[in-house]
């Protein structure tokens, strides 16, 4: 089978690439462009690990053929760093435990970026909905939601928090801190109940 040859923009750079025509965008990125930051978990469109942005929209790169991408713009996790600085989402994910094994992380990051590009200030439910196509087996998602919210709070150029200390998001109740005031937490729990 003869290779196809096409030109596209990858992470802002004009790129030419030749590949077998049956290859998916995922395979072209990983195998022909050496962009291994994009992962795969099923290659059937089930897990969301291979998400990239195609002309700004999140797509599952395992379900897009490479030949469909002629002249289009692709953004992968490698393209999130600008001028040597991590994207606020990347900082927040790293600081707040949103990446454990890190395998699903690239897919979550670009999908979250697409959400933030569209909504300046999404609610927790909108974040849940936007990320529903990405599976994570490590985190239980909660620290991912918090990281997205922290990145929003930090603004487009900001850094949510400073390492090694500090965290804007809720930390678990630890030892004495909670024991000092056990009533406040249950009062909050009842308040939550009532407001439902």
Partner 1 sequence: MNIIGKPRRRVDGRAKVTGQTKFADDLMLPRMVHCKLLRSTVPHALIVKIDVSRALARPGVLLVLTGKDFPISYGILPVSQDEHALAVNRVRFVGDPVAAVIARDELTAFEALDFIDVEYEPLRTYADPEDSLAYPVPRIHEYGDSGNIHKAVSLRFGDVEQAFADADRVFEDTFFYQGNTHLPIEQHAAVAAKDPDGKLVLWSSTQTPHYVHRALAKALEIPAAHIRVIATPNGGGFGGKSDPFNHEMVVAKAALMLDRPVKICLTREEVFYCHRGRHPVLMTFKTGVKMDGTITGMHVKTLLDGGAYGSYGVASTFYTGALQTVTYHVPTYHFEGCRVFTNKPPCGPKRGHGTPQSRFGQEIQLDKIAESLAIDPAELRLRIVEQPDTLTANYLRVGTIGLAECVRRVTAAADWKNTFGKLPHGRGVGIACSSYLSGAGLPIYYNDMPHSGVQLKLDRSGGVTAFCGATEIGQGSDDVLVGCVAEILGIEPIDIRPVTGDTDLTPVDLGSYSSRVTLMMGNAAIQAAERARDLLADAVSKKLSVPKDRLVFADRRVFDTESPDTGVGFAEAVQLAEATFGTIGSTGSYTPPRSAARFKGGGVGPSPTYSYSAAIVEVDVDLSSGWIHVPRVWIAHDIGRSLNPTLVRGQVEGSVYMAIGEALMEEQTFRRLPEKLSHALVHKFPSMLEYKSPTTLDMPEVFTELVENPDPRGPFGAKEVGQGPLLPVMPAVANAVYDAIGVRIDEVPITPEKILKALDAKAAGKDPRYGPTRFPYVPYPEPLDVPPPWEGGDGKAKLRTENSELRTPAVRR
Least separation in angstroms between residue 103's CB and partner 1 is: 3
Cα–Cα distance measured from residue 133 to residue 117, given in angstroms and rounded to the nearest whole number: 18
CB atoms within 10 A of CB 180: 8
Least separation in angstroms between residue 109's CB and partner 1 is: 7
- Nearer Cβ to partner 1 (7/170): 170
Least separation in angstroms between residue 56's CB and partner 1 is: 19
- Nearer Cβ to partner 1 (7/42): 42
- Nearest Cα to Cα of residue 117 among 89, 136, 98: 89
In which region does residue 96 sit, left (phi positive, over 0), alpha (psi from -120 to 50) or beta (all else)? alpha
Q: Is residue 15 classed exposed, middle or buried when 0-12, 13-18 and 19+ CB atoms within 10 A define those classes?
A: middle
- Nearer Cβ to partner 1 (7/82): 82
In which region does residue 2 sit, left (phi positive, over 0), alpha (psi from -120 to 50) or beta (all else)? beta
Least separation in angstroms between residue 8's CB and partner 1 is: 19
- Nearer Cβ to partner 1 (22/57): 22
């Amino acid at each position: 089978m003869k290779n196809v040859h096409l030109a596209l923009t990858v992470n802002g750079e004009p790129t030419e690439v030749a590949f077998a025509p049956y290859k998916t965008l995922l395979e072209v990125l990983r195998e022909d462009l050496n962009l291994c930051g994009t992962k795969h978990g099923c290659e059937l469109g089930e897990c969301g690990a291979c998400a990239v942005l195609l002309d700004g929209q999140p797509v599952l790169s395992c379900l897009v053929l490479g030949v469909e991408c002629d002249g289009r713009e692709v953004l992968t996790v490698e393209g999130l760093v600008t001028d040597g600085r991590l994207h606020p989402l990347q900082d927040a994910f790293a600081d707040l435990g949103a990446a454990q094994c890190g395998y699903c992380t690239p897919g979550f990051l670009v999908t979250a970026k697409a959400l933030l590009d569209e909504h300046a200030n999404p609610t927790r439910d909108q974040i849940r909905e936007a990320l529903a196509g990405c599976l994570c087996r490590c985190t239980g998602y909660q620290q991912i939601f918090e990281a997205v919210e922290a990145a929003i709070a930090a603004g487009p150029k900001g850094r949510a928090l400073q390492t090694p200390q500090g965290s804007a998001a809720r930390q678990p109740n630890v030892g004495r801190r909670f024991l000092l005031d056990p009533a406040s937490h249950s009062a909050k729990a009842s308040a939550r109940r009532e407001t439902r």
